């Protein structure tokens, strides 16, 4: 074992004393440097922890909007007749579907909006935020079983870190192309490709240092949804996969700290089911209340090159959410829907709550 003998300060002279003085000066300069670059720690936290979660939430909103619209136009709708066990259509209800069946060129225009409040309550990583998203799309049937569509989306995210004194805001402008196909009487497939331009801003409330940088995100989504009926009860299991790649451009914050170009990869696999019940209200009007449960496995989340932050990450890969709502079909041309959701149920300290609505018109 090594022994260390302390020497009184007044007995030091010459080079030993000079060395101690220089060490103290460098230590003070280092402390000052830490204060000056505190913003770097906050902005690394935003890129490493906050932004990937916002990307997942935003992609989920767009993916769900596309899946709902494709299913509404291609899936078997309520119909008449009687049966036993699960069938391809609801029984005992006669309502005209939203899209004309057999119409090879049926067009559908729609608008879908959503809002979420996000909260991470981890003591040394916590943040709160809000995310709003609005999509508008147009889709048309090429055949009875295939449709193509496109959409524009704008989403806005604002966060305020609890442990670290930083705020951030991200505006996203997205264009997407998507397709849907009826694989069997009971299975509908949809896939989409999404390009997003991101405008990011961050601010350190303690040092007053700010930063602004742009980025681009490419997203691929694919979903498989089933449609089975037991009387007027609809059972719709679903599977989905999503992959996104975000490229954040290099930038220098107002404190002179340089941040290099970053790439963030995020991949998720979803699985769940929806239970809905169709009620005919007369004159071609129906109401369908529903509840859905969905699990999510985040199989990839990585930043390249790695971002260094001393703050702990959320290492949980599994998540879950529940959603409930009601959809009104007005004749064969108009659909109105309202919904609410709670998410983050698979994460110990992370929660989301929100809602949304949709208007769809066929012509």
Strand partners, 42: none
- The pLDDT score that the predictor gives to residue 177 is 99
70 in any annotated domain: yes
291 in any annotated domain: yes
Domain count, the chain: 1
Q: What 3-state class would DSSP assign to 144?
A: coil
Cα dihedral value 323, 324, 326, 327, nearest 10: 20
Q: What 3-state class would DSSP assign to 108?
A: strand
Compute the distance between CA of residue 97 and CA of residue 278 in angstroms, rounded to an integer: 12
Q: Which residues of 80-107 are buried (b: 16+ CB within 10 A; e: fewer)?
A: eeeeeeebebbbebebbbbbbeeeeebb
Strand partners, 132: 115, 156
- The pLDDT score that the predictor gives to residue 284 is 86
Domain that holds residue 64: 12-362
172 in any annotated domain: yes
Counted residue by residue, the chain has a size of 363
5 in any annotated domain: no
- The pLDDT score that the predictor gives to residue 159 is 93
CATH of the domain at 339: 2.40.128.130
Compute the distance between CA of residue 79 and CA of residue 93 in angstroms, rounded to an integer: 6
- The pLDDT score that the predictor gives to residue 32 is 32
4 in any annotated domain: no
Instruction: Judge if the upstream peptide bond of residue 305 is cis by omega within 30 degrees of 0.
Output: yes
- The pLDDT score that the predictor gives to residue 6 is 40
pLDDT tens, position by position, for the chain (363 residues)?
433 334 444 444 554 544 444 444 334 333 333 333 445 556 777 777 788 889 999 999 999 999 999 998 998 765 443 345 556 655 554 444 433 333 435 899 999 999 999 998 887 778 899 999 999 999 999 998 999 999 999 999 999 987 667 889 999 999 999 999 999 999 999 999 999 999 999 998 888 889 999 999 999 999 999 999 999 999 999 999 999 999 999 999 898 888 889 899 999 999 999 999 999 998 889 999 999 999 999 999 888 877 666 555 666 789 999 999 999 999 888 999 999 999 999 888 899 999 999 999 988
- The pLDDT score that the predictor gives to residue 260 is 87
2 in any annotated domain: no
- The pLDDT score that the predictor gives to residue 8 is 45
Query: DSSP letters of 9-61?
Result: GGG--SHHHHHHHHHHHHHHHHHHHHHHTHHHHHHHHIIIIIHHHHHHHHHHH
Q: Is residue 353 within 8 Å of 339, Cβ to Cβ?
A: no
Cα dihedral value 164, 306, 244, 214, nearest 10: 60
93 in any annotated domain: yes
6 in any annotated domain: no
* E-assigned strand segments in the chain: 107-120, 127-141, 146-161, 166-182, 187-204, 210-226, 228-230, 233-248, 251-252, 258-259, 262-277, 279-282, 285-304, 318-330, 334-343, 350-362
Computed on alpha carbons and rounded to an integer, the radius of gyration of the chain in Å comes to 27
Compute the distance between CA of residue 19 and CA of residue 76 in angstroms, rounded to an integer: 82
Compute the distance between CA of residue 98 and CA of residue 129 in angstroms, rounded to an integer: 36
- The pLDDT score that the predictor gives to residue 35 is 36
- The pLDDT score that the predictor gives to residue 22 is 42
């Amino acid at each position: 074992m090594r022994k260390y003998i302390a020497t009184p300060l007044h007995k030091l002279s010459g080079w030993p004393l000079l060395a101690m003085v220089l060490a103290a000066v460098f230590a003070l300069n280092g402390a000052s440097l830490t204060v000056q670059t505190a913003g770097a720690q906050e902005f690394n936290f935003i890129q490493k922890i906050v932004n990937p979660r916002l990307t997942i939430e935003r992609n989920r909103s767009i993916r769900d909007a596309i899946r709902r619209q494709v299913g509404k136009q291609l899936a078997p709708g309520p119909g008449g007749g009687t049966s036993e066990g699960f069938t391809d259509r609801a029984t005992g209800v006669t309502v005209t579907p939203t899209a004309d069946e057999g119409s090879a060129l049926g067009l559908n225009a729609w608008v879908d909006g959503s809002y979420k409040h996000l909260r991470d309550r981890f003591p040394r990583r916590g943040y709160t935020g809000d995310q709003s998203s609005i999509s508008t799309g147009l889709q048309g049937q090429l055949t009875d079983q295939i449709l193509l569509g496109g959409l524009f989306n704008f989403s806005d995210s604002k966060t305020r870190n609890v442990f670290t004194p930083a705020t951030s805001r991200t505006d996203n402008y997205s264009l997407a192309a998507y397709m849907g196909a009826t694989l069997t009487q009971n299975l509908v497939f949809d896939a989409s490709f999404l390009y997003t331009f991101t405008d990011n801003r961050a601010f350190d409330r303690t040092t007053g240092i700010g930063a602004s940088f742009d980025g681009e995100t490419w997203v691929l989504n694919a979903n498989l949804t089933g449609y089975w009926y037991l009387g007027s009860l609809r059972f719709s299991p679903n599977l989905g996969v999503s992959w996104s790649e975000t490229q954040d451009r290099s930038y220098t914050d107002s404190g002179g700290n340089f941040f290099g170009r970053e790439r963030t990869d995020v991949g998720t696999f979803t699985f769940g089911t929806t239970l809905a019940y169709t009620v005919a209200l007369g004159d071609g009007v129906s109401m369908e209340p529903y509840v859905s449960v969905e699990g999510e496995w985040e199989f990839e989340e990585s930043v390249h090159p790695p971002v260094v932050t001393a703050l702990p990450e959320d290492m949980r890969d599994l998540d879950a959410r529940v959603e409930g709502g009601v959809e009104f079909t007005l004749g064969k041309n108009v659909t109105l829907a309202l919904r609410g959701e709670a998410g983050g149920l698979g994460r110990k300290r992370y929660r989301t709550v929100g809602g949304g609505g949709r208007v769809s018109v066929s012509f």
